[in-house]
Structure 1
Amino acid sequence: MRAHYSLTFLLLFVIASGASENASTSRGCGLDLLPQYVSLCDLDTIWGIVVEAVAGAGALITLLLLLILLVRLPFIKDKEKRDPVVLHFLFLLGTLGLFGLTFAFIIREDETICSVRRFLWGVLFALCFSCLLGQAWRVRRLVRHGKSPSGWQLAAVALCLMLVQVIIAIEWLVLTVLRDARPACAYEPMDFVMALTYDMVLLVATLGLALGTLCGKFKKWKQNGACILVTAILSVLIWVAWMTMYLFGNAELRQGETWGDPTLAITLVASGWVFVIFHAIPEIHCAILPAPQENTPNYFDTSQPRMRETAFEEDVQLPRTYMENKAFSMDEHNAALRTAGFRNGSLGNRPSAPFRSNVYHPTEMAVVLNGGTIPTAPPSYTGRHLW
């Protein structure tokens, strides 16, 4: 019996010590989680949890934009808005890939993870920058000529530009991993940056074309060009910042091994959110927004001529007699009845002699206004208008 209690106590001690050891090394993770993925839930690694939360939110927003674009696609009737839809899809897929690649820099690296990092980083950015370059080319044509290339031409140009980076990434992996038999994770930061030279060329070309979208006679497309320009400028700033930190800043702070992955992960998240906020959302909103009808006046546009409020009185020339008697038209009938009653002797037995009422007939008033005189014996009222 005493041996039974001893075995039970020993078993509980082993379980408690294992749990405490797991809690001390990976607080917030389960017992059966592989050590490779501990950084995804380790509460001691705050940067990993924050970055993966922001990346997850960005991935959800990107998926929502893809769904909205798919649902609203049959209702896009304008040719100039329907053509770049394929380019929008490619751009959103590239942005979604950037958010997904962020998790590869949070988990612990191995040969497979390092190969994925080295290949997809340049390819995904090349896809996004190629789509931006195609959009800048399209908007520049719209601003200057009012017409843009077809959607398939834009998509083909973007994919061809991306394939160049695919070839560069494959060649880099083959030369360093297969030929030199070096581990995939054994690369210098400068080698990683040099392999992204083509991405920098695409970004600079996008910035130059975006500047050209601000000059042209079709002003309604300049807003799209301004969004592309802002996206390109912010991307340039992000790339300058992360390359400076990755190449020089971490080494100066003696944190090269520790801060390398956080620097690259934060760069992916920041670039993805810039793409979503400053390019994807405005472009999709412009694409799904119905075009205003040409014949519908815009009452809030002060540049349009004002509508005439008194068109009838200005265009129709009314007779002078009508204009003079206009003020008396409402009381004409009652005044005529009273005048007729006085003339026919309606005042009891008194004869209808020379009696003059102070209520004038409209015709008599017109004579007075014209400078004439009223005759002594006014004409009898016939019951109809004299004018």
Structure 2
Amino acid sequence: MRTHHALAFLLLFVITSGASENASTSRGCGLDLLPQYVSLCDLDTIWGIVVEAVAGAGALITLLLMLILLVRLPFIKDKEKRDPVGVHFLFLLGTLGLFGLTFAFIIRQDETICSVRRFLWGVLFALCFSCLLSQAWRVRSLVRHGKSPSGWQLVGMALCLMLVQVIIAIEWLVLTVLRNAKPACAYEPMDFVMALIYDMVLLVATLGLALCTLCGKFKKWKQNGVCILVTAFLSVLTWVAWMTMYLFGNAALQQGEAWGDPTLAITLVASGWVFVIFHAIPEVHCAILPAPQENTPNYFDTSQPRMRETAFEEDVQLPRTYMENKAFSMDEHNAALRTAGFRNGSLGKRPSAPFRSNVYQPTEMAVVLNGGTIPTAPPSYTGRHLW
């Protein structure tokens, strides 16, 4: 009897200890998960789960676009489409980094996470905006002159423009965290925004240069310029919205600390999807699309001049059968003239020279057209000889 009481007490102790451990962990997370990663699986934190799922889907689509571009690269023969492939890869790499950085704003803050946030936010956006600016420069050259800069020039321009933001971010880490020994997470929202002024300059320059791509004589490249313009315009709206909410909206709603990370995470996801939908997918599709053959006429293009209408006898060679039939028709015409002379009482009289030339000239032509042989009269002709 004592044994049964001991087993019941032991079972009750295990159940009670398990319940206390489950109470200390979040719903949807394991027991051995570190506390700073609880937001990644906490079902009570709805915004984290939704943003995490949307960011994961964007990362998968970006990887798929990179794979498609890599596989189709050997089949891209057009020089104007092959040169910007390097910039496409850099842009997709920056977009993939934005989706990955989203997870850094979902997990709990510490010194390392805050340093990564401050450094990569400006650098990744600078990379994306630099690639957009290089693409706008390329499309502007194509629209106006029909030629684009080389691929190395486009990649070099994008990397050099991004390098400026890298220097700014490193300078902030050295001066703020290392020299002044301030916590990396102890920064005001205004300080975070002021460190991104160079990114705003790149975005405004991209928007202005994209407007210039709409003017030019080579109209087939204007669609690329429209995609860049729409991407830059939506990015401006996104940045205005998140800065307004991050600087003033959260404080006005008395949710400054609670809504700070969600605001930045949603901004990363929204910007990444804008880049994928309005720029990455159209550019990759344009790059892998085969160029139309130049010799194939487009009958639906009304801007092209009409084909020259030629005479039937100028380009088409008549078959020999038609020529023989033409010879027989001339001989029948000859016979008709002779019959007319017979009816007019000229039987037994030799026709005059002009009449004879008019009568026999078509027959001689028929002989020439018939290849040197004299055509015979149709079997139905039963008229008498004039002489």
TM bin, normalised by shorter chain, reads 0.7 to 0.9
- Between 341-350 and 109-118, the greater mean CA deviation after superposition: 341-350
Per-residue CA deviation, residues 6-39 of structure 1 (Å, 9 max, x unaligned), is: 4653454444454465357511111221111111
Shift of the 321–111 alpha-carbon distance from structure 1 to 2, 3 Å rule, reads closer
Q: If the length of structure 2 is used for normalisation, what is the TM-score?
A: 0.81
Q: Per-residue deviation at 1:374?
A: 24
Per-residue CA deviation, residues 107-142 of structure 1 (Å, 9 max, x unaligned), is: 111111111111100000000001001101111111
Q: Per-residue deviation at 1:194?
A: 0.6
Q: Per-residue deviation at 1:367?
A: 20
- Between 340-349 and 330-339, the greater mean CA deviation after superposition: 340-349
User: Does the 8 A contact of 2:348 with 2:386 survive in 1?
Assistant: no
Shift of the 271–382 alpha-carbon distance from structure 1 to 2, 3 Å rule, reads farther
Per-residue CA deviation, residues 24-83 of structure 1 (Å, 9 max, x unaligned), is: 751111122111111111110000000000000000000000000000000111111111
In the aligned structure 1, how far is the partner of 2:242 from the partner of 2:338? Answer: 99
In the aligned structure 2, how far is the partner of 1:376 from the partner of 1:17? Answer: 122
User: Does the 8 A contact of 1:138 with 1:149 survive in 2?
Assistant: yes
Q: Per-residue deviation at 1:175?
A: 1.4
User: Does the 8 A contact of 2:21 with 2:31 survive in 1?
Assistant: no
- Between 99-108 and 319-328, the greater mean CA deviation after superposition: 319-328
User: Does the 8 A contact of 1:345 with 1:351 survive in 2?
Assistant: no
* Partner secondary structure for residue 345 of structure 1: coil
User: Does the 8 A contact of 1:40 with 1:106 survive in 2?
Assistant: yes
In the aligned structure 2, how far is the partner of 1:385 from the partner of 1:182? Answer: 129
Q: Per-residue deviation at 1:361?
A: 20
Per-residue CA deviation, residues 137-196 of structure 1 (Å, 9 max, x unaligned), is: 111111111111111111111111111111111111111111111111111111111111
Shift of the 93–343 alpha-carbon distance from structure 1 to 2, 3 Å rule, reads same
In the aligned structure 2, how far is the partner of 1:234 from the partner of 1:378? Answer: 85
Shift of the 378–51 alpha-carbon distance from structure 1 to 2, 3 Å rule, reads closer
Shift of the 269–321 alpha-carbon distance from structure 1 to 2, 3 Å rule, reads closer
- Between 334-343 and 125-134, the greater mean CA deviation after superposition: 334-343
User: Does the 8 A contact of 1:339 with 1:357 survive in 2?
Assistant: no
Shift of the 185–89 alpha-carbon distance from structure 1 to 2, 3 Å rule, reads same
Shift of the 380–276 alpha-carbon distance from structure 1 to 2, 3 Å rule, reads closer
| Pairing 1:29–2:16 present | no
* Partner secondary structure for residue 302 of structure 2: coil
Aligned length: 387
Q: Per-residue deviation at 1:304?
A: 3.1
Q: Per-residue deviation at 1:275?
A: 0.3
In the aligned structure 1, how far is the partner of 2:19 from the partner of 2:338? Answer: 113
Q: Per-residue deviation at 1:250?
A: 0.3
Q: Per-residue deviation at 1:253?
A: 0.3
* Partner secondary structure for residue 358 of structure 1: helix
User: Does the 8 A contact of 1:328 with 1:362 survive in 2?
Assistant: no
Shift of the 382–289 alpha-carbon distance from structure 1 to 2, 3 Å rule, reads farther
In the aligned structure 2, how far is the partner of 1:20 from the partner of 1:114? Answer: 32
- Segments of structure 2 that go 5 or more residues without pairing to the other structure are none
Shift of the 226–381 alpha-carbon distance from structure 1 to 2, 3 Å rule, reads same
In the aligned structure 2, how far is the partner of 1:212 from the partner of 1:385? Answer: 88
User: Does the 8 A contact of 1:230 with 1:278 survive in 2?
Assistant: yes
User: Does the 8 A contact of 1:339 with 1:359 survive in 2?
Assistant: no
- Between 311-320 and 340-349, the greater mean CA deviation after superposition: 340-349
- Segments of structure 1 that go 5 or more residues without pairing to the other structure are none
* Partner secondary structure for residue 355 of structure 1: helix
In the aligned structure 2, how far is the partner of 1:384 from the partner of 1:67? Answer: 91
Identity of aligned residues (%): 93
In the aligned structure 2, how far is the partner of 1:43 from the partner of 1:244? Answer: 29
In the aligned structure 2, how far is the partner of 1:61 from the partner of 1:230? Answer: 20
Q: If the length of structure 1 is used for normalisation, what is the TM-score?
A: 0.81
Per-residue CA deviation, residues 316-351 of structure 1 (Å, 9 max, x unaligned), is: 799999999999999999999999999999999999
* Alignment root-mean-square deviation, CA: 7.7
User: Does the 8 A contact of 1:335 with 1:361 survive in 2?
Assistant: no
- Between 329-338 and 199-208, the greater mean CA deviation after superposition: 329-338
* Partner secondary structure for residue 330 of structure 2: coil
User: Does the 8 A contact of 1:325 with 1:366 survive in 2?
Assistant: no
